A and B are shown apart, each in its own frame.
Chain A
């Protein structure tokens, strides 16, 4: 199955700033998924990123707040913009591998102060 390198693993950021999270996959994949996990909660899908097209955002998430890039089939970035303490969460990327299988990144633990 695919291996994902996700960076940074954690960060503490000032409110009002932005953070870009990167995911590098060791093989070409069509779809990449970005999730948020707020403290004590389960994962929520932010958006699905396909190479060569705009990301598809889930209800409650907008491109201005969470812009996503997908320049090729092995790489994607998620930016958390104009951060507030409510954005403090774990952010994870994921790809589908094989038939219905999923591989996850190691997560980015973000704290906004």
Chain B
């Protein structure tokens, strides 16, 4: 069993839909990261969470430390949101990231 599990692996939706991507982890974490990877391969950090909830524009990330679960939400989705979204757990003490397998999101116009 992977230490960081994401669901779903693939998600296709229509423009405007509300999107949720889930992440469960089993390692002790210093922080939980949400990353966005575009087709060229570059990665952008979206959020770093240690508790509660964060919001940037149409993106919202939440974390429940007790349940070891995090979610990434996208409101009013747009085709430009199409990318792979990766959850990564900051390993407590080791200062390195453990990555989920990614969720490929496709938003159709």
- Residue positions of A touching B, CB distance < 8 A: 1, 9, 31, 33, 37, 41-45, 48, 90, 92, 94, 96, 100-109
Contacts and interface: CB of A to CB of B under 8 A. Distances in A.
B57 interface: no
B101 interface: yes
Interface string B26-64: 000011010100001111110010100000000000000
Contacts, number: 53
Contact of A100 (B30, B35, B44, B99): B30
Contacts of A31: 95
Interface residues of B, number: 22
State the main secondary structure of chain B at its contact with A: strand
Contacts of B90: 100
Interface string B59-103: 000000000000000000000000000101010000111011110
Given A1-B45, A9-B40, A107-B42, 14 more contacts: A43-B88, A43-B99, A45-B96, A45-B97, A90-B41, A92-B41, A94-B43, A100-B48, A101-B48, A102-B45, A104-B42, A105-B42, A107-B40, A107-B43
B4 to A, nearest CB: 9
A41 B104 CA distance: 12
A106 B40 contact: yes
Given A37-B41, A101-B45, A104-B42, A43 B95 contact: no
B76 to A, nearest CB: 26
A94 B90 CA distance: 13
